[in-house]
Amino acid sequence: MSDIPPSRSPSPAAQRMRLYRERRRQRLRYVPIPLHVTDIDGLIRIGRLKEDQREDVDALRAAVLTLVYWAVGDR
């Protein structure tokens, strides 16, 4: 038998910390932004979001990011 202990997968807390540190190295900051239903309606009205995407978190994130990039004149 081998004396090498079986490897364990990292705990959820360790995984979160690893992602946090990687994001910090990339100089990224995550900011949770609450969106009211009227904000989502506005994103749809200006064409940044499709009606069927109003519950899609990834689509909402992308729509808000396009506004941020537009506002700072980037990308």
Alpha helices in 1-75 (DSSP H): 12-25, 37-45, 57-72
What's the pLDDT score for residue 75?
Answer: 59
pTM value is: 0.69
Distances (CA, A) of 53 to 2, 30, 38, 59, 71: 53, 22, 14, 6, 22
pLDDT at 6 over 80: no
Instruction: Report the amino acid identity of residue 30.
Output: Y
Domain residues of the chain, as ranges?
33-75
